[in-house]
Structure formats: structure tokens, C-alpha cells
Amino acid sequence: MVIKVKDLPEEEYILPGTRMCSGCGLQIAYRWALKALGPNTIVCNPASCSTVTGGVGGYTPIKVPVMYNCFETVAAHASGVSAALAAKKKDKEIVVVAWAGDGGTYDIGIQGLSGAAERRSNFIYVCYNNQAYMNTGIQRSSATPFGAKTTTTPIIGKAQVNKNMFKIMRAHGLSYIATCATGYPQDLFEKFKKAREFNGKGVRYIEILSSCPPGWGHKVNESVEVTKKAVESGYWPLMEVIEGKLVISNPSKKYIDKSKRKDVRKYLKMQSRFKHFTEDDFKVWEEYIDDLWKELGWELEKQGDL
């Protein structure tokens, strides 16, 4: 059951006055995630836009302990915190979260993440995926989707489709994996609660599609709307893998049926990074979405859930 807004905890762990751009999706996600996790949370944070969330020079709007660390090492840092908690026998009461961008996850940090996942280090790994290196000025990452313009794919847009991190993490046999989007904070809240309940069961991986007005080129008041469109088109299925079993989350359930999926052009046309798209480019996206659901459908069928 989706939690009602009135039942959400009032306590805020990120106070107003962060240094994020207005309309920053990562900040929406961060705020709701910490609401779900509560005060007994230690965050590890690699170089990324979220480092800036934490403030500069001793000012911080974040109310839980955060350790800032190098770009590629967040999973190892979180493993270290979690080992220390185990040594001190505080690992039951305190939850450790690695909070990284797509660059820190898909690219430079993938080795450390894979290592931590395989050895069952105990923490929640969050990738807020804004689909580029935003902090350094919107350069392409391996999470950048096909065709998107970034400052390193400046004229024709990215020629390759993004890496499938969801499948990569599934291949590690994790206890809990989920996808979220900034347009569905209640869904996100529930999933973080669940990930916390899996404390003690190795790495739990949550990936959040995180809107970014300067990086994606949408209006600052569309940060919620834009990822809703992504979900409605079927491009970004909200789902979970619980102890190996695939579960499509409520907001995405109806898009198992292709005819219910909305035109992905609605999503793409909200963003200037896709402004140059031709019919052929739209087709690549449509095929990408079809293939994605075909595979999910096979699996649901095999599980007897279709």
C-alpha cells in the first residue's frame, strides 16, 4: 500500500537552503530517502552534485553524519563504515548509505561497487541517476541515454545507448534492488523503508531517475513532471527485485500492457538535450522501450506473474 502524504514523517533531515539548483531532482530524492531512513543513518558521499548539497566550509543543511569521499570509492567507504559498525556491534541500529551519482556508479565507481556487492558488505547503495556528470558541467556518462546532448557529445548527441546497470546489479544476486523516480516520492519512500528492513543482507541497490533542469534542459518547475513522463512512457519502469524475484511497482504496472504506454516523445520533447531528435532517433527510443518490456514480460511470465 502506498503511504499517504499525511502519514509521512514530518521530521526533515535536509533543511532548506542547500546549494542545489532550483528544481534539482537529486535533492527531492535525498530528502525523501532520509525521511524514510530516519536519524540513525550514516551517509557516504563521493564527488558529485550531492557533495554540494552538503554545503561548503562547515555549513550544512543535512542532519545526519555524512562522510565525503573520493569520486570512485564510495562503495568501499560504505563497506569500511559498515565493518566498523560491526566491530562496535552497532550495525543493527545504524544503517549505512552510499549516495552516488551515475558517474560514480556506472563508470568510475563500478569496480568498488561490484566488489562490495559480491562480498556482501552491508549497506544501501543509491545511484541517483541524472544521466551525466552534472557537477563537472554535463559531460556524458555511460548512463547517458541514446541521442542526448551533453558537453562531450555536443553536436550529434550520444551515439550509444546507456549501460544496463540494473541487470549488472542483478547479476550480483543482491537481496534487494529497486528503481525509483523523482516524480514518485511516495514510492521512493516505501522502497527505502524496505531497503532498511533488509539491513544485514549485504548491499541493497536503489537507482533513482533524477531530473536535472540545467543538465536535461527542462523547466525548473517540471522536475516532478518530467520523470513521471519517463515512467508513463514505459522508458523508466519502477520495479523491485526482492530476493531474486521481479516485482513491477504499482505506478508502472499498467505499462506492462504496451497500449497503455504514453508516447515517449512527450518525455523527450520536454528536454532540450533531445531537441535535435529526428524520427529515426525517436524510433531508437521506442525500440529500446519495447525490448525492455519484452524482457521484463518474459520474466514475469516465467514467474507466473503475467
Ligand X SMILES: Cc1ncc(C[n+]2csc(CCOP(=O)(O)OP(=O)(O)O)c2C)c(N)n1
Backbone angles phi, psi at 68, to 5 degrees: -85, 140
Nearer to other proteins, 54 or 234 (CB): 54
Restricting to residues 82-101, name those near other proteins by CB under 8 A: 83-90, 94
- Cα 270 to Cα 261: distance, rounded to the nearest angstrom: 17
Restricting to residues 114-153, name those near other proteins by CB under 8 A: 114-116, 118-119, 121
Select from 35, 77, 140, 191 the one that contacts other proteins (CB under 8 A).
Answer: 77
Tell me if 155 sits within 8 A of 203, measured CB to CB. Answer: no
Tell me if 130 sits within 8 A of 46, measured CB to CB. Answer: no
- Cα 115 to Cα 77: distance, rounded to the nearest angstrom: 12
Residues that bind Mg ion (CB under 5 A): 101-102, 130, 134
- Cα 164 to Cα 179: distance, rounded to the nearest angstrom: 12
DSSP state of 249: -
Q: Report helix, strand or coil for 177.
A: strand
Smallest gap, in angstroms, from Cβ of residue 236 to other proteins? 30
Place of cell 542532519: 63
Interface with ligand X, residue 141, by CB under 6 A: yes
Interface with ligand X, residue 112, by CB under 6 A: no
Tell me if 49 sits within 8 A of 20, measured CB to CB. Answer: yes
Strands 239-242 and 176-181: antiparallel
Smallest gap, in angstroms, from Cβ of residue 151 to ligand X? 11
Select from 23, 103, 185, 202 the one that contacts ligand X (CB under 6 A).
Answer: 103
Strands 239-242 and 203-209: unpaired
Nearer to other proteins, 98 or 177 (CB): 98
Interaction mask 7-46, ligand SF4, x per CB under 6 A: -------------xx--x-x--------------------
Interaction mask 196-235, ligand SF4, x per CB under 6 A: ----------------xxxx--------------------
> Residue 247: which of 304, 209, 192 has the closest Cα?
304
Q: Report helix, strand or coil for 298.
A: helix
Backbone angles phi, psi at 190, to 5 degrees: -60, -40
Sign of CA dihedral 7, 10, 13, 14: positive
Restricting to residues 124-163, name those near ligand SF4 by CB under 6 A: 130, 134
Interface with ligand SF4, residue 74, by CB under 6 A: no
Smallest gap, in angstroms, from Cβ of residue 49 to Mg ion? 7
Restricting to residues 48-67, name those near other proteins by CB under 8 A: 51-52, 54-60, 62-67
> Residue 205: which of 106, 83, 87 has the closest Cα?
106
Nearer to Mg ion, 40 or 136 (CB): 136
Select from 31, 32, 49, 72 the one that contacts other proteins (CB under 8 A).
Answer: 72
Q: Which residue is nearest to Mg ion (CB)?
A: 101
In the complex, the residues that contact other proteins under the rule CB under 8 A are 39-40, 42, 44-45, 51-52, 54-60, 62-70, 72-73, 75-81, 83-90, 94, 111-112, 114-116, 118-119, 121
